Chain A
Amino acid sequence: MASSHSHPLFDYLLQAADTSLVLGHRLSEWCGHGPVLEQDLALANIALDLLGEARSYYQYAAELEGLGRTEDDLAYLRSAVEYRNPLLVEQPNGDFAHTVVRQFLFDNYHYHLLKALQASPDATLAAIAEKAVKEAAYHLKWSSEWLIRLGDGTDESRRRLDKAIATLWRYQDELLAPTPAEAALQALGVLPAYHDLQPTMQAHAAHVLAEATVPAPTGPGYQGAGGKLGRHSEHLGYLLAELQYLQRTYPGLQW
């Protein structure tokens, strides 16, 4: 496993794959528990989109590594400290407002990243981005509309939204803080420079918050980070325990 740690593209692919897999898994936890049938399906749809994207990254990573590991090995047989997702996506679902805010922060980043990634000189990355960006555009529309509805809705929805924003806004800076692997790829032009994404992301967030009648969260405050380097919150271990249970208990099991 140590052999490939020096390859920035491999590291980044794992990071991107882990990010989509972990968030997709979180959203799948809503299945059967959604507030209404229609949103239960919407959440499951988004979860499946993210799972599909994660598979593309894992497959590419496995191919690049060339050690015979498969997408399943990468997803099911790596421990929490080897996972490279940012802290935001492993945060628990909480109530619907928490899920919406977490999704909005991720979608706003994800969509704008994929848009830029379509122009990557790495043909495989560009192709994955081209497919995923259409899905991400819809995700962003979904989470933006719900953020507006909750903010400009009832006293109850507003109270819950405010609480979710206070809890989760601190995880957004990590998304755009390049790891050494990301910085190396940015220098090669394989990844876009993240500060180029920032203005459009900020503009969209400001627009949505204004529509939601929510004042923009102020101050730098505490920002959580470390997930992309393998330093995770307590939540990821429990998530992986469930996600990996079958392969850990019955190695190689297929059905």
Chain B
Amino acid sequence: MTALNIPGMTQAEWPLWEVFIRSKQGLDHKHVGSLHAADAPMALQNARDVYTRRLEGVSIWVVESQHIHASNPDDAAELFDPAADKVYRHPTFFPVPDSIKHM
């Protein structure tokens, strides 16, 4: 894909957006990827064209990537490793009644 490169035209890129799609069966929106768009309506429209071509979704969320704050990968050890040996936090010791769906 060639970027717009027209003399005299502003070279500012459209901002990046993250796209979340809820599938027919799914209960929650899942991150599916990102795209460029000038504003929210265009981001929704682009998301429809880029990420729902194969019946993937029934609902779309978009959020500008700059509004997402991420944990630092360098901190992964201190953030996550301490949970590794605490199996008692997993609710796996309880029988789940049949009538409870989507656990």
Contacts and interface: CB of A to CB of B under 8 A. Distances in A.
Given A35-B4, A36-B14, A36-B36, A154 B9 contact: yes
Interface in A110-167: 138, 141-142, 145, 149, 154, 156
B45 A142 contact: yes
A149 B49 contact: no
B37 A38 contact: yes
Tier of interface size on chain B: 20 to 34
B4 A41 contact: no
B49 A145 contact: no
Interface in B44-68: 45-46, 48-50, 53
A45 B49 contact: yes
A204 B90 CA distance: 58
B10 interface: yes
Contacts of A1: none
A105 B6 CA distance: 26
Nearest to B10: A154
Q: What's the dominant secondary structure at chain A's contact region?
A: helix
Interface residues of A, number: 19
Contact of A156 (B6, B36, B53): B6
A42 B36 CA distance: 13
Given A36-B36, A37-B1, A149-B38, A156 B46 contact: no
A32 B1 CA distance: 6
A211 interface: no
Contacts of B41: 145
A38 B36 contact: yes
Nearest to B17: A38
A156 B8 contact: yes
B1 A36 contact: yes
Interface of A: 32-42, 45, 138, 141-142, 145, 149, 154, 156
Give the top 8 A-B pairs by smallest Cβ distance, nearest first. Answer: A38-B46, A42-B49, A37-B1, A41-B49, A38-B35, A41-B50, A156-B9, A45-B49
